[in-house]
């Protein structure tokens, strides 16, 4: 099969690495890819949102399968674009339809979906410009902290947790009257704060059947011991120690099954990954968000634990044969540690030369590129998150130490990483 993978971060390098091991993959292309993906496929310089050019490329290169990494093209309807066009309708697309991608694209849609299917989540109400005054009253009467969520995609910045009413009222006003998160963010979900430990579960569904993939925990804060501002993710671990078979059974019964049944009942076309962000409150899981794709850097720890041929699983997904697949998961612990540019998640420079990438090889450690680009024989930084080093180990401490050691061999101006990924489990 010829495959086009869409995206260019650490998630896509990990997928490219895994796809390259598949007996079914003949040619792999990555759009736009990064300096790492070019080790496993051919990078093509097409933006992830340029559906017409992607479709032409697929036709010219006899692509059989399109795998979509990031959320934006999914929420904008890349699945429908391919399926509604007779020339490209035969191409297997891994990812949900535009309608189903609303699970990530609209917080209000996701909350109403959970309500309809009795999926445990924080109590909430939604408001927009027409119900602004009611929203003000709702906030005034709400217990603290209050969680405000902009409805549309906001690149991970649309959730604000407020510890006092004045701040919540100000943020609410900024969102609705001053479009802080754009037009889509003028609808706001206000919800109850859930106090507990977070975990992400990943499911692959063909719309009818599903398989549960390894769970993961990511570390969103920039600073050691979870301090400072949020980032896209500074590292991740899998498995997550408190998620035992018993707890996974509860998650499956209360969350995964009603989610997949809900998609089916509402005829939402979904052949792809579902990323469910949970908070564990006194042993009970509550959904805090759905994403319609794999996570980054969660992919860097979950994909290496899957022993199956990935393209066999994805073909089964596209053909609604996931019931034929037995997922085999490596039991070892996997940790990824992300090296970022100085200043990230705020303003940061790019174009710095990265050294030490190929000097050291450690068994059980893989260097994935996130924001990198190739220029001649040099690899340069090309984003906030630059390199994710994944290691296998017998414990979280051992795997994390191995990734840290590897990162000490790598260097670029301003490089920073958290040495404490998985700290609460060490």
Footprint of ligand GLY (CB under 6 A): 218, 232-233, 291, 295-296, 298
Residues counted in the chain: 426
Q: How far is the CB of 296 from ligand GLY (least distance, A)?
A: 5
Question: In this complex, which beta carbon is closest to ligand GLY, that of residue 339 or of residue 379?
Answer: 339
Question: In this complex, which beta carbon is closest to ligand AMP, that of residue 271 or of residue 293?
Answer: 293
Q: How far is the CB of 144 from ligand GLY (least distance, A)?
A: 26
Question: In this complex, which beta carbon is closest to ligand AMP, that of residue 66 or of residue 148?
Answer: 148
Separation of alpha carbons 340 and 184, rounded Å: 30
Residue 416 CB burial class (10 angstroms; 0-12, 13-18, ≥19): middle
Q: Which of ligand GLY, ligand AMP, none does residue 233 bind to, with CB < 5 to 8 Å depending on kind?
A: ligand GLY
Q: Which of ligand AMP, ligand GLY, none does residue 289 bind to, with CB < 5 to 8 Å depending on kind?
A: ligand AMP
Q: Which of ligand GLY, ligand AMP, none does residue 122 bind to, with CB < 5 to 8 Å depending on kind?
A: ligand AMP
Query: Which CA distances in Å does 392 have to 287, 336, 395, 397?
Result: 29, 9, 8, 10
Question: In this complex, which beta carbon is closest to ligand AMP, that of residue 64 or of residue 300?
Answer: 300
Separation of alpha carbons 164 and 142, rounded Å: 10
Q: How far is the CB of 394 from ligand GLY (least distance, A)?
A: 25
Binding residues vs ligand AMP (CB under 6 A): 122, 147, 156, 159, 161, 191, 193-194, 198, 277, 288-289
Helix (H, G, I), strand (E, B) or coil at 208: coil
Helix (H, G, I), strand (E, B) or coil at 211: strand
Query: Which residues are registered as beta bridge partners of 32?
Result: 7
HEC string for 384-405: CEEEEEEEEECCHHHHHHHHHH
Contact indicator for 298, 200 with CB cutoff of 8 Å: yes
Q: For ligand AMP, which residue has the nearest CB?
A: 289
- In eight-state DSSP terms, residue 352 is P
Q: How many Cα atoms sit within 13 Å of 109 on the Cβ side?
A: 21
Question: In this complex, which beta carbon is closest to ligand GLY, that of residue 206 or of residue 296?
Answer: 296
Provide the 10 A C-beta neighbour count for residue 86. 7
Q: Which of ligand GLY, ligand AMP, none does residue 12 bind to, with CB < 5 to 8 Å depending on kind?
A: none
Q: How far is the CB of 275 from ligand GLY (least distance, A)?
A: 7
Q: How far is the CB of 241 from ligand AMP (least distance, A)?
A: 19
Q: Which of ligand GLY, ligand AMP, none does residue 147 bind to, with CB < 5 to 8 Å depending on kind?
A: ligand AMP
Q: Which of ligand AMP, ligand GLY, none does residue 288 bind to, with CB < 5 to 8 Å depending on kind?
A: ligand AMP
Separation of alpha carbons 37 and 14, rounded Å: 8
């Amino acid at each position: 099969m010829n495959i086009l993978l869409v995206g260019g971060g650490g998630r896509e390098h990990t997928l490219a690495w895994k796809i390259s091991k598949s007996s079914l993959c003949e040619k792999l292309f990555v759009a736009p890819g990064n300096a790492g993906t070019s080790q496993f496929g051919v990078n093509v310089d097409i933006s992830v949102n340029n559906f017409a050019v992607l479709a032409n490329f697929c036709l010219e290169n006899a692509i059989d399968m399109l795998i979509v990494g990031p959320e934006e093209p999914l929420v904008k309807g890349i699945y429908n674009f391919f399926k509604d066009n007779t020339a490209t309708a035969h191409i297997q697309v891994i990812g949900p339809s535009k309608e189903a991608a609303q699970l990530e694209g609209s917080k209000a849609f996701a909350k109403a979906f959970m309500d309809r299917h009795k999926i445990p989540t924080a109590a909430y109400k939604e408001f927009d410009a027409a119900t602004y005054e009611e929203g003000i009253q709702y906030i005034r009467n709400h217990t603290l902290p209050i969680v405000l969520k902009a409805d549309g995609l906001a690149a991970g910045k649309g959730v604000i947790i407020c510890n006092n009413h004045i701040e919540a009222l100000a943020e609410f006003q900024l969102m609705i009257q001053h479009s802080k998160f754009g037009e889509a963010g003028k609808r706001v979900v206000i919800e109850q704060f859930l106090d507990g430990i977070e975990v992400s579960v990943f499911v692959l569904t063909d719309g009818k059947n599903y398989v549960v993939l390894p769970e993961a925990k990511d570390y969103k804060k920039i600073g050691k011991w979870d301090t400072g501002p949020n980032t896209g993710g500074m590292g991740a671990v899998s498995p997550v120690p408190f998620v035992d078979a018993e707890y996974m059974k509860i998650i499956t019964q209360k969350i995964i099954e009603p989610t997949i049944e809900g998609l089916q009942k509402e005829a939402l076309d979904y052949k792809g990954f579902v990323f469910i962000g949970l908070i564990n409150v006194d042993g009970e899981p509550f959904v805090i968000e759905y994403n319609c794709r794999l996570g980054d850097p969660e992919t860097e720890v979950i994909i290496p634990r899957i022993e199956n041929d990935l393209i066999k699983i994805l073909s089964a997904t596209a053909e609604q044969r996931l019931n034929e697949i037995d997922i085999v998961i490596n039991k070892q612990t996997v940790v990824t540690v992300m090296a970022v540019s100085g200043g990230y998640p705020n303003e940061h420079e790019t174009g710095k030369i990265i050294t030490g990438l190929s000097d050291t090889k450690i068994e059980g450690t893989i260097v994935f590129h996130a924001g990198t680009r190739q220029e001649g024989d040099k690899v340069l930084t090309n984003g906030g998150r630059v390199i994710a080093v994944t290691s296998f180990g017998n414990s979280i401490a051992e795997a994390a130490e191995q990734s840290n050691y590897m990162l000490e061999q790598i260097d670029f101006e301003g490089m920073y990483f958290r040495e404490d990924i998985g700290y609460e489990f060490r």
